[in-house]
Amino acid sequence: MQEQVAIIVGSGTSGLAIAACLSQQSIPYIILEREDCIASLWKKYSYDRLHLHLAKELCELPYMSFPASYPKYVPKNMFTQYLDDYVSHFKISPMYQRNVESAEYNEVSKRWFVKARNASSGEVEIYCAKFLVVATGETTNPYIPEVEGLNTFTGEVLHSTQFKSGKDFKNKNVLVVGSGNSGMEIALDLANHGAKTSIIVRSPIHILSREMMDFARIIVKYLRPSLVDSLMVLLSKLVYGDLTKYGIRRPTEGPFYMKRMHGKYPLIDVGTCKKIKSGEIQVLPSEILNIRGNDIIFKNGKSHPFDTIVFCTGFKRSTNWWLKLVRLHHHTCDKPTATDLKPPPRPSEAHYHGHPKPILRERESSP
């Protein structure tokens, strides 16, 4: 068994940021990462046209800015290059292919005991540490809902993490299930490449542009959040108009309220709305009832044939399977300091990084 001061689980952007902060404070740590690279979400499980949805100054990691030459909305390849440079600069060396299967606090030794399966050897390794940082993200395990007859579907079925580009789907009938940011952008990419694209928009959504997000970021310093929400809805109505005729409804609660209270992100439109209005992307307002062969039958009684289904239905966290919990200290994107790593007031607390609210029950999230 190997004893450490701090164990970070996950080498996504949160884990890397924590690692850099710890090394700045000369606090030793190790990172256990189940994949064979850092930032696997960005390097392996995202589509080619992906750019950071938020302006670059909001997405840089502590102690290292993006290069000045980078565009405002950083494309995926530049973002991963920046992360590789970050790792070299702070000499971060995650232990790869270590899937953490359990982490438990021992009240007597006042240590966390972490079991990780080494994917190369198949062995379970045990690590112990005074501090545990959970940086496993919102997007741990791809989620596809159960759909009756999905196993009879004769076409191709993908999760958004497997989708790379619309170029392979020219002239194909493609159904995108899920209208979060990934679903809407994948639909756009498909339509851009000549696929006959449909998207299921089940729930009401807020649609904002990048510029509106920038504006919100400025005015939130001066105005009440509820007022910012009202202004955003007004701007969205002015820019996008009434979208109900295209099958898209607005929620009654404001966009940032929904983000804060329900973890639901507003849709940041990068061109999908225009394609919906022009009819190049068809919105299907009904859920799937079942599937027979290549026919998809919807709850409103209609049915359409499809060649491909892309499920953009989000992810499930895995922490509730392996993290034997107690109480969490939660850090959002602020830079942690040595003070954050002082022994917690109650012995069995863990540090959780990356989401505004620690949510311990399993839930679906779609960034």
Ligand X SMILES: Cc1cc2nc3c(=O)[nH]c(=O)nc-3n(C[C@H](O)[C@H](O)[C@H](O)COP(=O)(O)OP(=O)(O)OC[C@H]3O[C@@H](n4cnc5c(N)ncnc54)[C@H](O)[C@@H]3O)c2cc1C
Phi, psi of 317 (to 5 degrees): -75, 160
Nearer to ligand X by Cβ, of 10 and 178: the residue is 10
List interacting residues with ligand X (CB under 6 A). Answer: 9-15, 32-35, 39-41, 46, 50, 52-54, 59, 99-100, 135-140, 181-182, 318, 322, 354, 367
Q: Is the Cβ–Cβ distance between 12 and 40 less than 8 Å?
A: yes
Euclidean distance between CA atoms 86 and 65, whole angstroms? 10
CB 191 to ligand X: min, Å: 17
Nearer to ligand X by Cβ, of 137 and 266: the residue is 137
Nearer to ligand X by Cβ, of 62 and 285: the residue is 62
Nearer to ligand X by Cβ, of 37 and 289: the residue is 37
Strands (E) across 168-264 are located at: 173-177, 196-200, 207-209
Phi, psi of 277 (to 5 degrees): -65, -35
Nearer to ligand X by Cβ, of 20 and 135: the residue is 135
Nearer to ligand X by Cβ, of 9 and 22: the residue is 9
CB 38 to ligand X: min, Å: 7
CB 13 to ligand X: min, Å: 4
Q: Which two tokens stand for residue 94?
A: 């995650």
CB 168 to ligand X: min, Å: 19
Q: Is the Cβ–Cβ distance between 366 and 50 less than 8 Å?
A: no
CB 226 to ligand X: min, Å: 24
Tallying the residues shown for the chain, one arrives at 367
Report the 3 state secondary structure along 288-334.
EEEEECCEEEECCCCEEECCEEEECCCEECCHHHHECCCEEEEECCC
β-strand partners of 51: 75
Euclidean distance between CA atoms 354 and 350, whole angstroms? 13
CB 240 to ligand X: min, Å: 20
